[in-house]
A and B are shown apart, each in its own frame.
Chain A
């Protein structure tokens, strides 16, 4: 992909009760934010495993956001406290081995903070855009990969592209 057209791929792991609902509120309030980020709903921020983040990077994510209820507001009382400890550690570890803080960001967004949700997504997207592609990880991903011959590859991406092209023709 060339640099100019590059759009970051961002994954957000969010808890069902606060951040997901906050995102719903952002929607009902018709707040606008970039479309780069896709949400994966889990029940509680306490249930997000660090491996999820690595998996996201392995699948080409340029950035990851983890978000849950504010401390003391957890639907399950304490899940986010455990999460916070986990992320404190994991973030230090990633930082040490060379993954910048901006690649993996964290927030607390309550169900009433639709605005904050939109702001956070915007900020994360901008941060990642400023950092550029996560090339160092992607380099690892591309080891042992192969380009399928063009005549064979009538699959996913091209199909997607094609359907957009049709749109422009219309």
Chain B
């Protein structure tokens, strides 16, 4: 970890960046995000299996401007990002939210993070996104740290659940999701924690007209969760943060995962994997699937 601290300190000292967005340890098996602006403070920085936040969520236009501003000049921001977080950054760059030249990506060779804080890192407590992860080395970075280690083995129970749901008849499926969505309290933590939910005003906050009913009754919850999933279709990079933070334990990532699988099936596209591939939303192919249409 000294390398990380050294690097971050250097960046700040040399004035290459205005701030470093990273993790700090709060207790033995728990970390939390921190924004560091002074070289001295870098000693708090860590990177380990407990760094499960996706810090790309902090890379909003407003924050980049705000944090990058120092002495009336604008600087780069450094961010510590797991390889999967880099996917989010890629997606954000593609959606014009980040200027690649404005950020300095400190990434790591990653072998997975925990599912829950406070418990040991092992196959049973492995974040579900890590189970199927294929990018243990980041696709884009400015500084690569850490060495390659093996990821613990675990069952891909999420996929099993998707399969299970797909086997249900439609009315059962509807009932399943309706009851799951019914738990929603509309705290919008899923939205807040999603790096790709960067809209200045969310569709659900639009009042003229009212797109989605803000009440958290059944159909309001249903509409919100469906549209949230739709807006992420083909954009979601699969960081699973929404699922993690949901206080009502709605299996949001099941839907996101399913839509990611469909994006791959229909259009051979996975979001955030390449800066060169055009985004799925906003592009089309004349040969796209036409079966749906009479």
Contact = CB atoms under 8 A, between A and B. Distances in A.
State if A and B touch, Cβ cutoff 8 Å.
yes
Contact of B263 (A50, A54, A87, A89): A89
Contact of A141 (B211, B219, B288): B219
Interface residues of A, number: 38
A97 B227 contact: no
A144 B219 CA distance: 10
Interface stretch (B5-13, B41-49, B70-78, B229-237): B229-237
A38 interface: no
Interface residues of B, number: 47
Nearest to A45: B293
Interface stretch (B25-33, B55-63, B165-173): B165-173
Interface in A109-167: 120, 123, 136-137, 139-141, 143-144
| B174, B178, B286 pick with most chain A CB within 10 angstroms | B174
Contacts of A88: 266, 288-289, 292
Given A84-B284, A108-B294, A123-B294, A97 B230 contact: no
A137 B175 CA distance: 10
A76 interface: no
A81 B288 contact: yes
Contacts of A105: 294
Given A51-B211, A90-B233, A123-B294, 7 more contacts: A51-B227, A88-B288, A93-B226, A93-B255, A98-B176, A99-B170, A143-B218
27 contacts: A51-B227, A54-B223, A58-B219, A71-B290, A72-B286, A81-B285, A84-B293, A85-B281, A89-B230, A89-B266, A90-B230, A91-B292, A92-B259, A93-B226, A93-B229, A93-B262, A96-B258, A96-B259, A98-B168, A98-B170, A98-B174, A100-B170, A106-B292, A106-B294, A108-B294, A140-B178, A140-B218
Interface of B: 165-166, 168, 170-178, 203, 211-213, 217-219, 222-223, 226-227, 229-230, 233-234, 255, 258-259, 262-263, 266-267, 280-286, 288-290, 292-294
